[in-house]
């Protein structure tokens, strides 16, 4: 008896952001803000929230790595945003603020809308942390140096890339906890077609 493999089903799109040091920054400011990373390239892939055929909701995932001459084959870091569960906070201008999180009991008592809003906050926080870096200001009379947060990274050429996602890709990501290589191949194919996107990142 012959079995027929089920073809992957397109279920959404992933967003790829290739971040470089903000070219409008003075070189000394860039080095102060980003350190050795200022000559590197940040790669970020955002996988959206996904509801599978059983009705289960899988939270958004952010994959990130920094490619540089020091780490030309860096491994991807995975952030599963549904594990963060941040509460609403008035201190939204401070990216480094320690946002309070819902306990499991609090989470279980939330409405679906409140859970959605928390997951949305989590994704925003992760992306904000990726784009913003910190440096130190001038010391005061007591020698204390305030921490200053600035956006040190921008999307290369202002061109984010969107590629199709299949249920197979998301199974790799969520069930097998591995990098969906088909998504990487789609991203590289689009990158190669864009002007001013270097073939080699480091």
Among left, alpha and beta (phi > 0; psi -120 to 50; other), residue 71 is beta
Look up residue 108 and give its DSSP letter. Answer: H
Q: How high is the pLDDT of residue 96?
A: 45
Q: Give the separation between CA 65 and CA 71, rounded to whole angstroms.
A: 10
Burial class (CB in 10 A: 0-12, 13-18, 19+), 141: exposed
Instruction: Give the residue among 112, 130, 96 at the shortest CA–CA distance from 15.
Output: 130
Q: List the pLDDT tens digit at each of the 202 positions of the chain.
A: 555 667 889 999 999 999 999 888 888 888 888 888 888 999 999 999 988 889 888 999 999 999 998 888 899 999 998 888 999 877 654 454 567 899 999 999 999 999 999 999 999 888 888 887 766 556 667 766 666 667 889 999 999 999 999 999 999 999 888 899 999 999 999 999 998 898 877 5
Q: Where are the domains of the chain?
A: 10-192
CA atoms within 13 A on the CB side of 95: 18
Residue 148 pLDDT = 64
């Amino acid at each position: 008896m012959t079995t027929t493999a089920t073809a992957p089903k397109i279920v959404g799109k992933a967003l790829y952001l290739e971040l470089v040091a903000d070219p409008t920054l003075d070189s000394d400011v860039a080095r102060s803000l980003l350190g050795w990373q200022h000559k590197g390239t940040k790669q970020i892939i955002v996988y959206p929230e996904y509801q599978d055929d059983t009705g289960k909701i899988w939270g958004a995932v952010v994959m990130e790595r920094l490619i540089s001459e020091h780490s030309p084959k860096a491994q991807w870091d995975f952030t599963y945003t549904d594990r963060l569960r941040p509460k609403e906070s008035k201190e939204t201008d401070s990216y480094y603020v320690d946002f309070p999180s819902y306990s499991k009991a609090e989470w279980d008592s939330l409405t679906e809308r409140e859970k959605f809003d928390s997951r949305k906050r989590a994704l925003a926080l992760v992306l904000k942390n990726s784009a913003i870096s910190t440096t130190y200001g001038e010391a005061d009379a007591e020698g204390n140096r305030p921490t200053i947060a600035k956006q040190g990274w921008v999307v290369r050429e202002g061109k984010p890339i969107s590629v199709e996602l299949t249920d197979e890709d998301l199974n790799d990501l969520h069930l097998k906890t591995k990098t969906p290589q088909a998504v990487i191949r789609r991203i590289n194919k689009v990158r190669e077609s864009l002007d001013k996107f270097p073939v080699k990142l480091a």
